[in-house]
A and B are shown apart, each in its own frame.
Chain A
C-alpha cells in the first residue's frame, strides 16, 4: 500500500478551547473521473476518491464514502470536538488502491 501526497487545503481554527466544537474544511485536487462513455468521447476508466477517513486523538472522528456523484475536487466540511493538541490525519482512498495522506495540527489551549 503506497502512501502518496496529494494537493489538499485543510482549514482549521488557529487554536481551540478544550471541548470546543471546531469546523473542519477540506478541499482536495482530484478529477473524480466517473467513466463517462458517450458518442464522441474516448472512454476512460472510473477513478475517483471513494473514501475519506479522518482520525484524531486516537480515534476515527469522521468518514465520507463518495460516489461519482461527488463534484471534482471534492470538498467537505464537518465538525469535531477539540480533545487535545495533536495531528488530524486525513486519508483518501482512490479506485485502484492508491492511498493519499495529509495531516493538519489542531492546537488545543
Chain B
C-alpha cells in the first residue's frame, strides 16, 4: 500500500489550505485590506449607520445603505466610503469617492455575499479621521456557485 499514514493524516490540512486560498482570490486578506485603508490611523466606532437586512435569502443581491454623519463642508467632509466583506473572495467590495458637492454622505447599493458574515464599512474624512462600523448578515443562499 503506497498511501502512508502520515500522508492520509495530512489530507484534511491540504484541503483546508486550498479553501483558505479560495477565500481571497486577490491574495489580499480581509484584515490586510482594512489595514491598508486605515494606513496606521485608529478608527472611531461611531458616525456610521448601516441599513441592511439581518437575514438575506439570496446572497446574489443584498441591499445595503450607508449613512455617515458629516457636515460635508469644504473643511470637514467624507472623502471615501469603503465596503469590506469578511468572507467574500474579494474583501474590497466597493469604494465610493465623495466631495462636498455630494451634500450628504449617503450611499446605497446592492452587493453579493458568499456566505453568512460581517460586512464592514470604513469612512475616511478630510480631517484624517476614519469611522468604522460592522454589521452581521445571515445569508441563506450564497452568491458563489462553487459553494465557497
Contacts and interface: CB of A to CB of B under 8 A. Distances in A.
A1 interface: no
Contacts of B93: 67, 69-70
- Using C-beta atoms within 8 Å of the partner chain, give the interface range for chain A: 20 to 34
Contacts of B100: 81
A60 B98 CA distance: 9
A7 interface: no
A74 B95 contact: no
A42 B104 CA distance: 44
A64 B101 contact: no
B102 A80 contact: yes
B115 interface: no
Interface in B90-137: 90, 92-104, 106-113
Given A70-B109, A76-B109, A21 B94 contact: no
The majority secondary structure among interface residues of chain A is strand
A78 B102 contact: yes
Interface in A34-80: 36-39, 41, 56, 59-72, 74-80
Contacts of A36: 144-146
B80 to A, nearest CB: 9
Contacts of B97: 60, 62-65
Contacts of B107: 64, 76-78
B88 interface: yes
Given A21-B104, A77-B65, A78-B106, A68 B98 contact: no
B55 interface: no
B122 to A, nearest CB: 14
A78 B60 contact: no
A83 interface: yes
A79 to B, nearest CB: 5
Contacts of A67: 90, 92-94
- Counting from the closest, the 3 A-B pairs by CB-CB distance are A21-B103, A63-B97, A38-B146
Interface of A: 21-22, 36-39, 41, 56, 59-72, 74-81, 83
19 contacts: A21-B104, A60-B97, A61-B101, A65-B94, A65-B95, A65-B96, A68-B89, A69-B85, A69-B94, A69-B111, A70-B111, A71-B60, A71-B109, A71-B110, A71-B111, A72-B60, A75-B109, A78-B102, A78-B108
